[in-house]
A and B are shown apart, each in its own frame.
Chain A
Amino acid sequence: MNRAVRLPHTDRFFEARFESIGGLGAHAAGQVLATAAVLNLGLNGAHFSSYGSEKKGSLVRSFVRLGPGEQPIRTSTPVEAPDAVIVFHAVLLGNPGTFAGMRKDGVFIYNAQAGTIPAELAALPKTVRVVRVDALGIAVEENSRPNAVLLGTLCSQFPFLDAEVILAALCAEFAGKHPEAVAHNERAFRRGATEFEAIENVGRAEGDLPIAKPEPEWGYETQPAGGLLPAPGNMAWNDLSASRTGWLPVLHGDKCIHCGVCDLVCPDMCLVWGDGKEGGKFERELMGVDYRYCKGCLRCIESCPTGALTKDAETPGLADRLRVRLFPELIS
């Protein structure tokens, strides 16, 4: 069957960039989209992700490049000037690289609950279409993943991405190993395609956004020879809050017997201890959690003999309110 596919532009590829955290399914989303476009829409395409030795929970970018079927795709470089940016986690809005190169006639989709419009969106071009969808909320309700929802929203914004074709590819992805997941993903996809909100008048920038040219902190005139790193423990500046997927451990001091068991199982060294209060019962006391480093694995809760640590849903601002700093003089 011949299928007429109308790409938005004749003079360049259609390029999409998925901005995500490892584990949320951005790579799979890009792959489903590009596979369907190539095998079922007759387009030419390329898909890849920015890999490192990153583990689950760290920054991942996935790139899709689509063009007419007869046009070769030669370049293998990352998408610098995207027509579509799809943001899997609201925390990524704090990273200027998320917006880099955004085309003025593009679409910017982000995953967040309804409510306050993030101030960072002002960095976008005025003319960009901004779309919000509660991908995590829908995914939880439908027992799916945010990527299914966001793919639905993306297809709703670009008519050439035939939603039924992309959905079929999404279902095919799961049909083999997880047939039970097909129906969940289909519902999540369809809700993503309809339950989004177009946000008006947020971008302030004129024209296309500039392409990012990130530079390393050190160069060949400044980098210590031999790759030596004379800054012990400077990873403590990293912020890993975005690794959490909706849950965090909360300490209830009244129940804590300060036994120290949780400290031995915490992979992220984010439990804060101090000397006990003068004349108190305990020589050492667990003061709380530095959520800057907590990835939300919840092993501490499982280990706690008294139920002093509980699994709580992470509502906006909760971690900031409860956070106890490990390095208060150094790292805010």
Chain B
Amino acid sequence: MATEILSAPTKTEEAPTQGQARQKLEFRIGNEAAALAACDVGYHVMGYFPITPSTEVAENLSKMQAEGKHDIVLVAGDGEHGAAGICYGAALGGGRVLNATSSQGVLYALEQLPVQAGTRVPMVLNIAARAVSGPLDIRGDHSDIYYTLNTGWIILCARDPQAVYDMNFAAVKIGEHADVCLPVIVVYDGFFTSHQKRRIQVFDDPEALRGFLGTRPDLPTPLDTEHPATFGAYMNDPDLINNKVQLSQAMQAARRVIPEVFAELEALTGRSYPVMDAYRMEDAEEAVVLLNSAAETAKEAADELRAKGRKVGVLSPNVLRPFPAEEFREQLRGVKAVTIGDRADSYGAGGGNLSLEVRAAIQEDPANDTRVISRIYGLGGKDFYAADALAFFDLAGQVAASGKVAEPFAYHGATPGKPGRGARPGLPPIRAEEVSQPMAHVKRNVSTGRLDVELEPLWKMTAVPKRVSPGHGACPGCGAFPTLHQVYNALQGDVVVLFQTGCAMVVTTGYPNTAHRINYIHNLFQNGAATLSGLVEMYHERMRRGEVPESKDITFVMISGDGGMDIGMGPAIGAAIRNHRMMILEYDNQGYMNTGAQLSYSTPLGHRTATSEVGKKLPGKRYHHKDTAQIFAACHLPYVFTASEGYPEDLMRKVAKAQFYAKNEGLVYGKILSYCPLNWKVADDAGQPVLQAAIDSCFFPLYEIEHGHTTLTYDPDASDRRHPVSDWLGLMGKTKHLLKPDNAEIVAGIQAETDRRWARIKALHEHPLL
């Protein structure tokens, strides 16, 4: 192209003049926009649990907090269910509350959502919409948000990062309105919006914003001890239906309040959000209906078709609850045919929820004769290109011309597949005799009743076929795989594994490839232990009934990260109390590394993570690491141990014992300190010295608890290798800030806690009963 054009002026001149408030230009992803809005709102409390792709909301707030930009109390829940509870409690307390989640996080929190709506406690929940499991998919679609339709929450849709920012202010004001008094969801598309940098205008005018938001109205709160009340009475018929009438009336009131709040916001910002975003619909005869980012792509296609003289338009609601039925009726009255795209199916219903609700809305209009075509598109993050939008318009065009809908419901963009194509072939199965040579010989010591283990030499173990194939996608230097390799070396015979969600799961099973050469199951990390316990019980029951041959001898192993032992703690303790014949092995790398290194409860005090940032106002994580081994010890299991991939022989001896106990007695738990060079911010090849330092400082004691008797398997005191924790902390990028003089108190705190826990373990080790 020979012609060249001039662009618009730079940012200072570009500041908008339409709104009354001062604003400034930023270039932000949707998650940053949500975090900036949260900062500007100045919430009292945020309860959250990291999940892709919404995690950056909390991460950005942590970063801003470290820089002193806000004082929102950020509370990392033990899972999304816990996070929703934290939010509910905080919101009952009378301040402003925020949460952000996605996908399974929405579903795990789901049970709490109607509780909060039914008891009329406003707050704001950002959802970066993502496909729900299974199979697990981390990319964007609307299958999570559709589950929230019946919860009684207001749902605002944000089609781009600017809308994410704006809707977060509208959400506060709508939810807190006296006639509404409901919690509000702001939903934006995972990755398409949550992770795409766009130009946005943000407030540069705290006063104008304060004027808009006001303060949270006084609602009954359990913190008001002058006026005692019961929050959450037990209510059967005939009363519950009346509570729901009130909720329904609040939704009706929201129909009036929402446009009022949008108009107020528009006066400040100059940006307009009608309840129904109707693009080139004035005289449209064919239309498509889409939610959020895909509608924006369809507008490009509509422009292209309009240029050719086609009367087409795009409808996209900015509000999903209350559902804008009247607005749909108005807009579709003159439309001959409409293609409604749903980014999630309501399986068996003949359309996704949006499609079904639009159909229901227009059938109430006697003047309406619109033909409707329902299409499921873009599942699991499948991109929606302009070509897809054109295909939707073409469908509407054909139906408008013929007056007949040949195929009212179908999936768009799926692949039938070709015969002869498929995944690459697997490696040959590992023959039983190849893994039946014991690499660890376990014998019960008759005098102590405990087990003694003798390992074969390490070189001999190189003949054990690897139950995980090479080719997995872990980072260079990853410690989860040496851990797995050492575990598998010590295990003899058939092994069935269950991996909870985490790095080791994700990098070994990217469809249509797997690194696992043995039977492998994934379940979400809030429930792996329960799932494996069910399999174990079925195995034994089918063997008892003669359906599985008695010659079978399977060892059941669950692999989890430390994150999985936060969110999955409940079911893991349940399995432990029930004492199933299985083992739970946790590779502990001190953070939620799969989602980008947020704090876990196993992250030590003061360590830097993406949600325990370091800055002027924040020195890393605020509380001590979880002592998971002692929690399991309190379940009185036959065997609990700690180990590290940095001490392979110690680890393999313990795993051999674990196999004996898991097959013969009951549940075993092992916590294994594993290296993570990327997020510990250390060189890929420094695993050994860093792990060694953690252990020699007594921060991570190596011990086992066999039938309640604690034995240290390595004593840095005895071998004169003990050194202060600062020697260990100085080795890692994530902790180097701690060695600054300002943080001496934190290091002293870590040292004191390390010394205290070490002294306890030593005392347990020395006592004949413990």
Contacts and interface: CB of A to CB of B under 8 A. Distances in A.
Interface stretch (A33-41, A129-137, A185-193): A33-41
A326 B192 CA distance: 40
Contacts of A243: 476
A269 B508 CA distance: 13
B423 A267 contact: no
A53 B593 CA distance: 11
A268 B415 contact: no
A237 B423 CA distance: 10
A231 B11 contact: no
A95 interface: no
A236 B427 contact: yes
Contact of A2 (B13, B27, B416, B689): B13
A203 B468 CA distance: 42
A168 B764 CA distance: 60
A123 interface: no
Nearest to B191: A51
B419 interface: yes
B495 interface: no
Interface string B48-61: 00001100000000
A297 B685 contact: yes
B482 A264 contact: yes
B371 to A, nearest CB: 27
A236 B197 contact: no
| A interface, size bucket | 35 or more
Query: Which among A40, A69, A271 has the greatest number of chain B C-beta atoms within 10 A?
Result: A69
A217 interface: yes
Interface stretch (A85-93, A113-121, A149-157, A282-290): A282-290
A220 B415 contact: yes
B516 A215 contact: no
B6 interface: yes
Contacts, number: 324
Query: Which among A53, A220, A244 has the greatest number of chain B C-beta atoms within 10 A?
Result: A53
A1 B4 contact: no
A10 B1 contact: yes
Contact of A42 (B8, B53, B138, B686): B8
Interface string A210-223: 00000111111111
Interface in B378-434: 383-386, 414-419, 421-427, 429
A6 B2 CA distance: 11
B11 A9 contact: no
Interface string A265-299: 11111110100000000111010001011011111
Interface stretch (A74-82, A138-146, A315-323): A74-82
Contacts of A237: 424, 471, 513
Given A5-B6, A299-B687, A57 B475 contact: yes
B124 to A, nearest CB: 24
B476 to A, nearest CB: 4
Interface string B279-318: 0000000000000010011011000000000000000000
Contacts of B685: 297-299, 301-302
A238 interface: yes
Nearest to A267: B481
Nearest to A261: B458
B1 A8 contact: yes
Contacts of B531: none
A125 interface: no
A69 B25 CA distance: 12
A259 interface: yes
Query: Which among B421, B475, B479, B688 has the greatest number of chain A C-beta atoms within 10 A?
Result: B475
Interface stretch (B258-266, B319-327, B459-467, B718-726): B459-467
Contact of A218 (B193, B198, B417, B457): B417
Interface string B183-208: 00000010111011111000000000
A180 interface: no
B468 A269 contact: yes
A49 B300 contact: no
Nearest to A31: B197
Contacts of A20: none
Interface string B518-529: 100000000000
Given A58-B473, A78-B383, A44 B197 contact: no
A87 to B, nearest CB: 20
Contacts of A52: 138-139, 510
A3 B516 contact: no
Contact of B473 (A48, A55, A234, A303): A55
A7 interface: yes
A49 B195 contact: yes
B236 interface: no
B54 to A, nearest CB: 13
Contacts of A106: none
A284 B195 contact: no
Q: List 6 A-B pairs, minimum CB-CB distance, nearest first.
A: A219-B417, A69-B8, A222-B417, A233-B469, A260-B458, A233-B427
13 contacts: A51-B53, A51-B195, A55-B507, A57-B475, A77-B385, A217-B417, A234-B427, A237-B513, A258-B459, A260-B457, A261-B648, A269-B470, A298-B685
Given A8-B1, A217-B422, 15 more contacts: A40-B10, A45-B199, A46-B198, A47-B197, A76-B189, A77-B383, A77-B385, A217-B512, A222-B421, A240-B473, A260-B457, A264-B482, A264-B645, A268-B481, A297-B478
